[in-house]
Amino acid sequence: KLDKAVARVAFLTDDFWNIMQTRQLSLLSRVLSERLRITIRETLGASYSPYVYNNPSLNFKGYGVMNVVVNLSPKTLDSINSNITELITDLVDNGVTPEELSLVKGPLMNHLTVLRQTNSYWLNSVMANSFRHPERLDWALNLVQGYDQITPKDLNRLAKKYLRVQDRAVIKVLPKPQK
């Protein structure tokens, strides 16, 4: 049996309803995921699939959480948490580069183009509850263009606003001690 731990770092963000900000936070999480992949996986070999995602609330005004998740060995938990803090601090201090944004935006743009051609997208993401939120119809029409117009400046502004390491929640999940 392999003992595994989970390092989670969470930052409060915002709700879903400012769609451009939600899209920008989604791209920011992809940039941070890529930085984690390079450092935690490629350089340190400490985790195979670290990832970051933003979870904006559909129900609670002003509430969302950006989550950093790394599955790893319990022995490396504290040092990897330090690496995560360094990565986030660097992102806030030095910003997202145009190359980084391009790297994560390209595959996303391809995915969105294909997604818009599926019935599932139109039925489950656009039409569902569109009678309560008719703005979903407009969002669908500008989905690809909306993501395409996001710049490093947009992401840097949000990183400074939401990724304040002094305000983060650090969650350490450890394996059950052996008897």
The per-residue pLDDT for 3 is 85
What is the Rg, in whole angstroms, of the alpha carbon atoms belonging to the chain?
Answer: 18
Q: Residue 93 pLDDT more than 70?
A: yes
Q: Given this model, what pLDDT does residue 67 score? A: 98
pLDDT score at 99: 98
Question: pTM for the complete prediction?
Answer: 0.92
Task: Report pLDDT for 1.
Answer: 61
pLDDT for 128-163, tens place per residue? Answer: 888 889 999 999 999 999 999 999 999 999 999 999
Q: What is the rounded CA–CA span in Å between residue 52 and residue 30?
A: 7
Tokens coding 136: 């979903």
Q: How far, in Å, CA of 119 to CA of 36, rounded?
A: 34
CA dist., res. 51 & res. 32, Å (int) = 8
For the beta sheet containing 169-173, the strands, ordered from the edge strand earlier in sequence to the opposite edge, are 51-56, 64-72, 5-12, 169-173
The beta-strand segments (E) located in 120-177 are 169-173
Question: For 37-49, how does the pLDDT look when each residue is reduced to its tens digit (9 = 90+)?
Answer: 999 998 898 888 9
Q: Using CA atoms, how far apart are residues 96 and 27, in angstroms rounded to an integer?
A: 11
Q: Kindly report, residue by residue over 105-126, the tens digit of the pLDDT.
A: 999 999 999 999 999 999 988 8
Q: In whole angstroms, what is the distance from residue 67 CA to residue 65 CA?
A: 6
pLDDT(25) > 70: yes
pLDDT attached to residue 84: 96
Q: What pLDDT digit, counting tens, does each position of 27-81 carry?
A: 999 999 999 999 999 889 888 899 999 999 999 999 999 999 999 999 999 999 9
